[in-house]
Structure formats: structure tokens, C-alpha cells
Amino acid sequence: QVQLQESGPGLVKPSETLSLTCTVSGYSFSSGYYWGWIRQPPGKGLEWIGTIYHTGSTYYNPSLKSRVTISVDTSKNQFSLKLSSVTAADTAVYYCARSAAAMYYIDVWGKGTTVTVSS
Amino acid sequence: EIVLTQSPGTLSLSPGERATLSCRVSQSISSSYLAWYQQKPDQAPRLLIYGASYRATGIPDRFSGSGSGTDFTLTISRLEPADFAVYYCQHYGTSLTFGGGTKVEI
């Protein structure tokens, strides 16, 4: 059974870069599927950040595209998120997720990790 | 940009009652590209419905989805205690956007 686990710092200073990693277990990362990031600010709804295929093809939310980089390390069954120039508005629970296509419904979610932007 | 508007914001019901949740889309979309999720406190969302009306694996048949064009509905036929949660609709295909959510409370 596929499982996703987010990891990374829980606290990031304003203007710095937020970095998170998602480790995929129970599934061969290179066998297919698309892998992405979604976030949820406290008490608010869900926002798609971006998606990557194991080949490295990426798809980003236009509203975040200038600050987002998603990359993949197939040897470690991991993919990562970098969000630059963060502000308090980037404080959220960050979920990694799996979908069958780049712009598709999400069938597997990680448990989520809370990232707070504060000095 | 496609915008999804969910109503009502909060639905107050009792166990055993029927819940009807609405998701209105700002422009007509293919019904193939509408999903519903359930989220409980401090948990990740769980996929309930995809393609507007297809239940995801393991989802009980008291959950059903319907609709087309710009108006979609999630119906829970008889609420069980575990169903009190927040529900989100999602458009996918050309973009990936979520509605603001409907909270179903006791």
C-alpha cells in the first residue's frame, strides 16, 4: 500500500526558502503516477501548488509559479518542494499527494506537515 | 480562471438525516473533471467521488455525486456520526482548483 510522508523544517523565517521532501513507500516511484504538493492555511481551504512526473516534467499553479520549484529523486523515491521568498501568508499545512495525471483528482495524500513562517 | 463556489458554508443536521451539498462552477466543465473530498480535523482530505459520480475505492454507497455543466451535488443519504466533517469539491483537467468547503456539523 502506497504511503507518503512529508518532512522538513516546521519554522521558516520570512524571505527565506521553504524546503520540504516527500518520501514515497510501497510503490515504485518510476512506475508512473504524478506527485504533487497542496497546502492549506490555518482554518482555510486547499490550494494546489504543483505537480511533477518521475521524468521531471513539472506543472505549477500560475499564482505561485515564480517562487516554486518541485524536483524528484527517483533513486530515493522522493520528491521535493522549494518555495522561495516566503511570507506569513505561506504559513500552512503542506501535503504531498499522488494523482494519475498532471491535472487530476488526488487518490493518495500524505498526513501533512505544518510550516510556520515567522521570525 | 475557474472558480468553485460551495454552499452552504455550514450545514447543521442530525445523524440519519440527508445532506445535500452544492458546488457551483464559474464556467461549464466536463462532468468527468469534478471530484469531492472529505476532511476531518487534523487529517488529510480523503477522496470520495471522482468524475462527478464515481465513488472512490472503499467509499460507502450512502455517498453519491451528481451534476453537470456548472452545478454539481454531493449527497449523503443518511448521515452517520463519522460523516460530520468538511467537504471540498475540486475541478481538474485544465487546472486544479478547490471550492471553499462545506462544513457538515451536528
SS3 A74: helix
Pairing of the two strands B10-12 and B102-105: parallel
Q: For residue A52, give the nearest of A8, A96, A108 by alpha carbon.
A: A96
Q: How confident is the model at residue B1 (pLDDT cuts 50, 70, 90)?
A: confident
Record the cell numbers describing residue A28, joined without a space. 515504485
Please give the Cα distance from A94 to A90 (Å, whole number).
10
pLDDT of residue A4: 97
What B71-74 contacts at long range (C-beta under 8 Å, 24+ apart), as own/partner pairs, is B71/B22, B71/B23, B71/B24, B71/B25, B72/B22, B72/B23, B72/B24, B72/B25, B72/B31, B72/B34, B73/B20, B73/B21, B73/B22, B73/B23, B74/B19, B74/B20, B74/B21, B74/B23, B74/B36, B74/B48, B74/B49
> Are A45 and B44 an interchain contact pair (Cβ–Cβ within 8 Å)?
no
Q: How far B14 CA sits from the closest chain A CA (Å)?
A: 24
* Cβ distance of A111 and B44 shorter than 8 Å: yes
Positive or negative torsion for Cα B75, B76, B77, B79: negative
Q: Does B93 score more than 90 pLDDT?
A: no
Residue B47 has its nearest CB partner, among A103, A105, A111, at A105
Flag whether residue A5 sits within 8 Å of chain B, measured between CB atoms: no
Digit-coded pLDDT (tens) for A9-28: 999 999 999 999 999 999 88
Give mean pLDDT, residues B1-21: 96
Given a cut of 80, whether residue A43 has pLDDT beyond it is yes
Q: How distant is the Cα of A73 from the closest Cα of chain B, in angstroms?
A: 24
- Predicted pLDDT of residue B95: 84
Residue B47 confidence (pLDDT): 98
Nearest by CB: B44 against A103, A105, A112: A112
Task: Select from A61, A95, A103 the Cβ nearest to the Cβ of B93.
Answer: A103
Give the chain B residue whose CA is nearest to the CA of A37: B96
Share of chain A above pLDDT 90, in %: 88
| CB atoms B100 and A103 under 8 Å | no
Residues A47-76: tens digit of each pLDDT: 999 999 988 999 999 999 999 999 999 889
Q: Do B35 and A105 touch (CB under 8 A)?
A: yes
pLDDT in tens, B26-81: 999 887 899 999 999 999 999 999 999 999 999 999 999 999 999 999 999 999 99
Residue B9 has a pLDDT of 96
pLDDT at position B77 is: 96
Q: How confident is the model at residue B13 (pLDDT cuts 50, 70, 90)?
A: very high
Q: By CA distance, what is B51's nearest residue in A?
A: A105
pLDDT of A41 reads 97
Chain B positions in Cβ-Cβ contact with residue A111 (cut-off 8 Å): 43-44
A45 touches chain B (CB under 8 A): yes
**pLDDT per residue as tens digits for the range A82-104:** 999 999 999 999 999 999 998 89
Interface touch A48/B97, C-beta < 8 Å: yes
Q: What is the arithmetic mean of pLDDT over B72-97? A: 95
Q: What do you get for the CA distance between the two ends of chain A, in Å?
A: 39
